[in-house]
């Protein structure tokens, strides 16, 4: 080995280099450790906790969670009353899929009639609750369903139902108290009660200003404000909501407002209010009530307030300084752009408050303060009346002239015996789920659906199909109008027609001769399993569906696979 003779200076330089190298390596090690520590801390901030995999209860998961965590709850019923903490933690608690209605229905927090189902206290806008059914909450002094105190959480895609507050304050479903301004989005708030107080569905009190958007608020009950109540300097913004069937024992079946600040009033924008009421003997406003005090007012824009009930001012009764514009109000109401006309809902009896073609509420709203989407998240505005100019509609739903999903070859009606046969032929069908038929005695009158169950689609994108339906409720010497509703696989409807038919003065009764042959009697029991198979003389065996009893003594069979016709069979 070759030996090097180093001078003292050289030796000191070499020792210094080694020392610096050691320091450098240790610094690198510290940096690496710091990086590792930083990585693990970051992971903890964005953690995911699963219930019941990690914790058996939602409350235990909340107590273990850190700010930024997400708690995902599996389907099931959890009997507990959860509290996000004091102050409420900035965490998200949600079901496995808040956008799936079936998951929401099956992920249940049952309060057991003990206290509020969910409590938020403080915490600002950080907490969130998404995709649950909240039920059987009961409180002596607060909300039955969700209690917010000085808190502004996000509450989305929840069903809040059958909750009760026994207090004289209110908030059967949700109570926004003391500077609480939650965002309540796409929730169904139904069947909640505040019988001794305010706001069966939602109660806002003491400078609280929630944003309530794209919600259905239905069948709730309170002393005042069956659906929503706002008192004491509150400014709720209620947008794209369907408010139906709520009841107040005093005033404001749908909405009640009082003691607000005139310069910053509650706002109701593009909402539909129908079927709300006050109890008999009470006075004001089945739809919207705002106390007529010098400091009170409310702003109502682009709304449909139609079909509500009260002893006086059935639809609306508001303070004189209120602003009510571009609304369809039954009986009429003063204000810019207001109209008084049947809104032509698709099927209000079945809860469908979309607009039909030709509705006077289409393209008659205003863009001032209007939302950019409707309750179904359809973009506003649409050119619903086909004049080449898109304008905002009134109500929660924007009418969208969907492209025709079927190519309709013919749509006609003819008298046959004592009934009317409606027939239609399609050349092609795209994502069509089925059809409904609607009848009226005036072309612009109220149409009634005549088929008890949807008529299933049989065609395809390149496959023609023929259909017919027997309407046996036909009066002699009467003109009838029929519309054909096509329903696609997502539930969106397109209407065709109307067509008209004059029924003659005399009608023939159906006879046994109308049928090609008798069918075996053992197949005619309503208790038989479906589908049924029948064999006709001279014809092969076909698979048929028993539709419904259409006339006393007869059964009606739509022979979709045999021919596009309908036969009567005498029993």
Give percent of the chain with pLDDT exceeding 90.
54
Q: Pull the structure tokens for residue 221.
A: 């009950």
Instruction: Report the C-alpha gap between 117 and 164 in whole angstroms.
Output: 10
Angle, alpha carbons 261-264-267 (nearest 5°)? 115
Quote the distance between the C-alpha of residue 556 and its chain's center: 35
> DSSP characters for 191-205?
S-EEEEEE-SSEEEE
What gap in Å lies between CA 107 and CA 72, rounded to an integer? 11
C-alpha count within 13 angstroms, C-beta hemisphere, residue 240: 23
For 332-357, what is each residue's pLDDT tens digit? 999 999 999 999 999 998 899 999 98
Q: Which residues of 447-459 are buried (b: 16+ CB within 10 A; e: fewer)?
A: bebbbeeebebbb
What pLDDT, in 10s, does the model give residues 478-506? 888 999 998 877 677 888 888 888 887 76
3-state secondary structure of 81: coil
| CA 569 – CA 553 distance, rounded (Å) | 8
CA 552 distance to own-chain centroid? 39
Q: What's the pLDDT score for residue 487?
A: 85
What residues pair up with 414 in beta bridges, in sequence order?
421
Which residue segments constitute the domains of the chain, with CATH numbers given?
406-502 (2.60.40.10), 512-570 (no CATH)
For the stretch 222-280, pLDDT in tens is 999 999 999 989 999 999 999 999 999 999 999 999 988 777 899 999 999 999 999 87
Confidence of residue 298 (pLDDT cuts 50, 70, 90): very high
Cβ-defined contacts of 558-567 (< 8 Å, 24+): 558/455, 558/468, 558/469, 560/456, 560/458, 560/467, 562/536, 564/423, 564/425, 564/465, 564/466, 564/467, 564/468, 565/468, 566/421, 566/468, 566/469, 566/470, 567/514, 567/515, 567/516
pTM above 0.75, yes or no: no
């Amino acid at each position: 080995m070759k030996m090097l003779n180093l001078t003292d200076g050289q030796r000191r330089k070499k020792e210094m280099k080694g020392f610096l190298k050691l320091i450098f390596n240790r610094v690198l090690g510290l940096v690496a450790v710091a990086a590792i520590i930083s990585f693990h801390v970051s992971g903890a901030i964005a953690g995911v906790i699963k219930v019941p995999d990690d914790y058996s209860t939602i409350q235990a998961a909340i107590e273990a969670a850190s700010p930024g965590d997400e708690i995902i709850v599996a389907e099931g019923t959890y009997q507990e009353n959860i509290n996000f903490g004091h102050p409420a933690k900035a965490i998200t608690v949600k079901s496995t899929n808040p956008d799936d209605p079936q998951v929401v229905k099956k992920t249940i927090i049952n309060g057991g009639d003990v206290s509020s189902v969910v409590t938020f206290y403080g915490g600002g806008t950080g907490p969130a609750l998404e995709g649950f059914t909240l039920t059987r909450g009961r409180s002596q002094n607060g909300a039955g369903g969700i209690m917010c105190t000085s808190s502004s959480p996000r509450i989305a895609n929840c069903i809040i139902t059958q909750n009760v507050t026994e207090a004289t304050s209110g908030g059967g479903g949700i109570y926004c108290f003391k500077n609480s301004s939650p965002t309540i989005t796409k929730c169904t708030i139904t069947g909640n009660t505040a019988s001794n107080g305010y706001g069966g569905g939602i109660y806002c009190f003491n400078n609280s200003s929630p944003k309530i958007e794209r919600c259905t608020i239905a069948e709730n009950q309170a002393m005042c404000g069956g659906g929503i109540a706002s008192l004491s300097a509150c400014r709720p913004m209620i947008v794209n909501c369907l408010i139906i069937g709520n009841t107040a024992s005093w005033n404001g079946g749908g909405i009640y407002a009082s003691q607000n600040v005139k310069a910053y009033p509650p706002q109701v924008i593009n909402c539909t209010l129908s079927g709300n009421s006050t109890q008999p003997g009470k006075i004001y406003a089945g739809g919207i009530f705002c106390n007529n005090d010098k400091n009170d007012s409310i702003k109502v824009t682009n709304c449909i307030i139609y079909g509500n009930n009260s002893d006086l001012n059935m639809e609306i009764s508001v303070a004189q300084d209120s602003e009510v514009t571009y609304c369809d109000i039954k009986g009429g109401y003063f204000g810019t752009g207001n109209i008084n006309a049947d809104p032509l809902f698709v099927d209000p009896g079945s809860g469908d408050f979309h607009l039909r073609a030709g509705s006077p509420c289409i393209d008659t709203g205003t863009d001032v303060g209007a939302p950019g989407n409707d309750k179904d998240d359809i973009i506003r505005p649409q050119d619903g009346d086909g004049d080449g100019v898109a304008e905002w509609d009134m109500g929660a739903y924007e009418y969208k002239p969907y492209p025709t999903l079927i190519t309709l070859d013919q749509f006609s009606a003819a008298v046959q015996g004592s009934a009317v046969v409606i027939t239609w032929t399609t050349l092609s069908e795209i994502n069509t789920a089925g059809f409904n038929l609607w009848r009226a005695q005036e072309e612009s009158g109220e149409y009634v659906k005549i088929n008890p169950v949807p008529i299933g689609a049989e065609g395809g994108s390149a496959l023609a199909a023929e259909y017919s339906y027997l309407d046996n409720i036909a009066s002699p010497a009467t003109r009838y109008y029929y519309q054909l509703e096509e329903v696609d696989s997502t539930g969106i409807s397109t209407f065709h027609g109307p067509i008209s038919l004059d029924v003659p003065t005399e009608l023939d009764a159906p006879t046994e001769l109308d049928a090609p042959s008798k069918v075996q009697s053992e197949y005619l029991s309503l208790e038989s399993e479906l589908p049924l198979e029948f064999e006709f003389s001279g014809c092969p065996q076909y698979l048929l569906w028993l539709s419904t009893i259409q006339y006393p003594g007869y059964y009606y069979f739509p022979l979709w696979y045999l021919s596009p016709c309908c036969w009567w069979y005498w029993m």
